[in-house]
Amino acid sequence: MSIFFATKFFIKTTKDISDKEVSRNARLLRKAGYIFKNLAGVYTFLPIGLRVLRKIENIVRGEMLKIGAIEFKSNTLQAPDIWKASNRWDDNVVDVWFKTKLKNGQKLGLAFTHEEMYTDLLKHFVKSYKDLPIILFDIRDMFRNEPRAKSGLLRGREFYWKAAYSFAENPDDHNKIYEELKNAYLRIMDKLGIGDFTYLTFASGGTFSKYSHEFQTVCKVGEDDIYLDEDKKLAINSEVFTEQTLKDLGLNKANLKHVKAVEVGNIFTLGTKFPKALNLKIASASGSETFAYMGSYGIGISRIMGIIAEKFADKNGLIWPKNIAPFTVEIVPLVEYSKFLQNVLQTLTKLNMDILVDDRPVSAGRKLVDSDLLGIPYRIVISERLIKSNKVEVKQRATGKIIEVTLSSLPKVIK
C-alpha cells in the first residue's frame, strides 16, 4: 500500500479548459488533471494520468510475457535505407512520416511502426529455423503526422502503444502464434474492462491474407463502421462487408447491427514481404534457405485510456475500473489533519490499496466535486460529526451509493 497526499502529487483539477474540446475523453481528462494539451494531437500525461497509463501498460505487458514474447526497446530515429528497401520511405506511399535531418544533412524519420527495424535486426541474429518462432514486442511513444488529430487520446500525432512482431519458419507455425496473440488480446480487453463491448472484427488482410483482425470497441465517437453479431461476439469492418464475407463467417445479415467503433488493437499476417525486402533468410528444417514468415500485432495503450474515459463516465466525471484506477481510495478530510485520519489509514493498510488523501487547502464543496471528477472507485469522507461516532462516509463512485460505516467495518465495504 502507498499513501499519496494531493498537495505533493500534482493534483491539478480545473473548472474550465481554454479551448473547445469536442471529445468527452479529452474534456474530462484535462479537467481532472490527467493530461495537459500541448498542441493538437499531443498531450503530456500528468502524474495521476501516468498512473492510469502504466496500469494499462502493465496489463498488456503481462499478457505478452505470458505467451513467451520478449520485450525490447526500439529506436525512434530511423535511417532511410531499410525503409527504401520496403518502399515505405516515399511520402507518396506513406504520408504520415515526420522527417528531419542531422546537422550533416543525413535524412532521418521518426518511427511510426517497426516492421523494417525488427526484420533488419533479426537478420544479424537469426540464421536457422532452430532460432524460430520468436515474438518481439516493445511499448513506446510513436509518431504519426496525422492530417486530422482529433478526439483527444483517440487519434493523436504522438501516442503510446504496444507493438509485437512474430517471425516463424512457415505459415503453419505463424498461424499458431497468430491464434495465441488473438486470445491474448481478448484477455487484455477483458482485464481492462472493455471486453463486453469490444468485438473481434474481420477486416482486410491486404495482399497477405484474406482477412486481418481488429479489436473494435463500440463507441458513438468512433471513426470506424462495423457490423456486429452480439450473440456470436463477431463483427465485420465496413470495408469488407460483402455477401462473400458473410458466407465465410457464417453470419446472417439480418442479425447484424451497424455501429460506430474505435479500433483499439489489430493483428496482421505479413507473410514474407519484409523478410524478402530486407533479406531475412533462414536455414529451414529441410536444409534449404527460406524467408522468415512474419506477423504484426498492435495495441494503442493511450487510445485505450481515452476509450475508457469515453465509456466509463457520467455528468460528474470519470469512473475508472478498479484495476486501472490511479488509486483505489480517496480520503477527503473535512477537518484538520487528525489522529482519526491516521486510524483510517491504519485500517486501510490491511487491504494493500493505494490511497490519495486530499489535503489541499480548498473548500469542502470543491473537494467533493473534484472527487467525482477524478473517478477514484471509493471516496471516504471524514467530518467532525462522523468522528464523534467513530464512523466515516463511504461513496462508491460507480454506483453513487453512500453509506456510513465504523472503522472496524471499513474493510468489508471496500473490497
- 236: its cell numbers: 465485420
What's the number of domains the chain is made of? 2
Say what the pTM is.
Answer: 0.95
One domain, residues 299 and 343:
no
- Structure confidence at residue 19 (pLDDT): 64
One domain, residues 92 and 154:
yes
One domain, residues 266 and 398:
no
One domain, residues 141 and 189:
yes
* Neighbour count for residue 331 (Cβ, 10 Å): 25
In a domain, 217, yes or no: no
- CB distance 361 to 336 below 8 Å: no
Q: Name the residue range of residue 95's domain.
A: 34-194+260-314
- In 3D space, the residue among 305, 304, 291 whose CA is nearest the CA of residue 34 turns out to be 305
- CB distance 373 to 317 below 8 Å: yes
- Number of alpha carbons in the 13 Å side-chain half-sphere of residue 372: 15
In a domain, 376, yes or no: yes
- Structure confidence at residue 231 (pLDDT): 94
One domain, residues 382 and 310:
no
One domain, residues 308 and 332:
no
- Structure confidence at residue 375 (pLDDT): 98
One domain, residues 303 and 178:
yes
- In 3D space, the residue among 381, 408, 402 whose CA is nearest the CA of residue 392 turns out to be 381
- Structure confidence at residue 287 (pLDDT): 87
- Structure confidence at residue 18 (pLDDT): 67
In a domain, 244, yes or no: no
Instruction: Going from the first residue of the chain to its last (415 residues), give the mean pLDDT of each consecutive group of 10, the final group possibly shorter.
Output: 92 81 89 94 96 98 98 96 96 94 96 96 96 97 88 92 97 97 98 96 88 96 95 96 95 96 97 96 92 97 97 96 96 87 90 93 95 98 93 96 94 88
One domain, residues 111 and 160:
yes
